[in-house]
């Protein structure tokens, strides 16, 4: 089963080109998340979907935009609860929770608990997440033992999830931007020029098809 990760970049630029406020691009992106969830239901080869929604560095953005984003995330997760349970989709979160509004942190905890026994596939949301921050937090958890790959991995946010197989970044940017530094060690990357709100399921089908044709050597 494929662990697919998407960096949904280009939302603000999509909105700016249309004369809209930045959060209108994020609203459109959340609509895209729902379409992607429906798309995965029709496939039998994707076991985990990771969506990087907000980085540890994104707090430096305009306060009004950040506040709007927090409200949008909370609204989205509240609305998705019933659908995730109905469709047997497990929800998990990676990243910090201490900087969220209390209502958002509560919704995340409730959704993780409500879907903990779901089996079809896992929706993994990275929110207030950074790869370096995750590694620092993991190291701080390790006490009284040598740091090995195994012990470090065991202290990541979700060590039970498989490493990322295919990572897609939209928006024309060709960099990793501190995303899942450990889990993408052997990921196949694809960079799409389209802004995320313009991405179609046909684009994703094409990425997965090209991924399946690649020969992964893992250094061999």
* Furthest-apart CA atoms within the chain: distance in Å: 55
Angle at alpha carbon of residue 41, lines to 184 and 37, rounded to 5°: 60
Q: Which residues are catalytic?
A: 9, 58
CB 54, CB 73: distance < 8 Å: yes
Are the CB atoms for 8 and 170 separated by under 8 Å? yes
Do residues 120 and 46 touch, judged by C-beta distance below 8 A?
no
Interatomic CA distance for residues 74 and 19, integer angstroms? 25
């Amino acid at each position: 089963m494929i662990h697919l990760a998407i960096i949904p970049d280009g939302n603000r630029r999509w909105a700016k080109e249309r004369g809209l406020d930045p959060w209108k691009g994020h609203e459109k992106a959340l609509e895209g998340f729902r379409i992607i969830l429906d798309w995965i239901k029709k496939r039998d080869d994707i076991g985990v979907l990771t969506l990087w929604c907000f980085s540890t560095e994104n707090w430096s953005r305009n306060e009004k935009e950040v506040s709007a984003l927090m409200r949008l995330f909370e609204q989205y997760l509240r609305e998705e609860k019933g659908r995730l349970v109905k469709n047997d989709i497990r929800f998990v979160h990676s990243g910090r929770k201490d900087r969220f509004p209390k209502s958002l942190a509560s919704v995340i905890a409730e959704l993780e608990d409500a879907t903990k026994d779901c089996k079809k596939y896992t929706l993994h949301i990275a929110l207030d997440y950074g790869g370096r921050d995750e590694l620092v937090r993991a190291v701080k958890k390790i006490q009284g033992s040598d740091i090995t790959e195994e012990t470090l991995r065991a202290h990541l946010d979700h060590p039970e999830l498989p490493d990322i197989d295919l990572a897609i970044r939209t928006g024309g940017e060709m960099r990793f931007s501190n995303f899942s530094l450990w889990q993408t060690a052997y990921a196949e990357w694809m960079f799409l020029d389209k802004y995320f709100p313009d991405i179609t399921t046909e684009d994703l089908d094409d990425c997965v098809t090209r991924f399946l044709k690649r020969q992964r050597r893992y250094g061999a």
